[in-house]
Amino acid sequence: MIPKLLVTGASGFLGWNICQVAKSEWEVYGTYNSSPVTDSGVKFIKTDLTVLGDLKQVWEEIKPDAVIHAAAASKPNFCEENPDISHKINVVAAGDMASLCGAAGIPYVFTSTDLVFDGLNPPYRETDLVCPINTYGGQKVKAEGEILARYPKAAICRMPLMYGIASPHGGSFIQGFIKTLKSGNCLNLFEDEFRTPVSGTTAARGLLLAIEKKVNGILHLGGKQRISRYEFGLLMAQVLDLPADRITPGKQQDVKSIAPRSPDTSLDSSQAFDLGYEPPSIMEELAALRGLV
């Protein structure tokens, strides 16, 4: 029997990429709420994960062998302005899913974020104290605690900035970069904001590895390179043959943001590397996207 994998948030960027990577070895079921999607290798189910009765109904229909919970209100500015709405999906639904997985005794992988840190003391290891500076990061911290309290064998995977092929309804940050440059406009990028990015494909492989290795507790799935958004933009332009002369450096303080921004949430992902997680270089990842983004 092919094992069943339930992926929440399957219409979003990360969820979509998880489904694409997993469907070769799993019978994949993907949930979505407002944006329907189709794919020959994935069975999609519309549901509102914030309604416990709906979640339980989907659970009984599928009876999964493992769950990757990628559904989230992941835009920091939205969470800052809509804390009650975002709390329901980012905290409540994540905890409810932990209870279901715990009762069934199956692997549960939760996608957290590098924004649980304030960005002042990078690179961050799994044992470092969390210190979020915006609502989104704070909600993920609450979710981590709620999940591990309900199901200590759950895997909390903190994800870095991600980029790559867009889902039908959810792109990554590079789609906006590419559109701006191709339209002939200038692109101003922070030279003082650093991350350890990976592609959506690499992130998906890391999450599936967490299931395979039976990870319990917290695991960081960042890339091997620390890079600023400005440096990333220049590299992207070089690899994808875009006009780098239209990319200019900027500072975080120059752009007003509803949600506070962390300067450097680079992750130390040595534990994942030791498990076999092997993110390619950013240049290799970008080269693989030629003609696809």
CA distance 241 to 116: 35
Judged against a pLDDT cut of 90, whether residue 168 lies above it is answered with no
Average pLDDT, the chain: 96
Averaged pLDDT for residues 33-59: 92
CA distance 77 to 285: 28
Confidence category of residue 35, pLDDT binned at 50, 70, 90? confident
- So what's the pLDDT on residue 38? 84
CATH of domain 4-162+198-220: 3.40.50.720
Confidence category of residue 69, pLDDT binned at 50, 70, 90? very high
What is the percent of the chain with per-residue pLDDT over 90, rounded to a whole number?
94
Judged against a pLDDT cut of 90, whether residue 37 lies above it is answered with no
Judged against a pLDDT cut of 90, whether residue 40 lies above it is answered with no
Tokens standing for residue 201: 């494909």
Angle at 262 between CA 202 and CA 275, to 5 degrees: 30
Judged against a pLDDT cut of 90, whether residue 271 lies above it is answered with yes
Confidence category of residue 21, pLDDT binned at 50, 70, 90? very high
Judged against a pLDDT cut of 90, whether residue 34 lies above it is answered with no
Averaged pLDDT for residues 160-176: 92
CA distance 272 to 156: 12
DSSP β-ladder status, 227-228 and 194-195: antiparallel
Judged against a pLDDT cut of 90, whether residue 218 lies above it is answered with yes
CA distance 135 to 126: 20
- Neighbouring CB atoms inside 10 A of 288's CB total 16
Averaged pLDDT for residues 121-126: 98
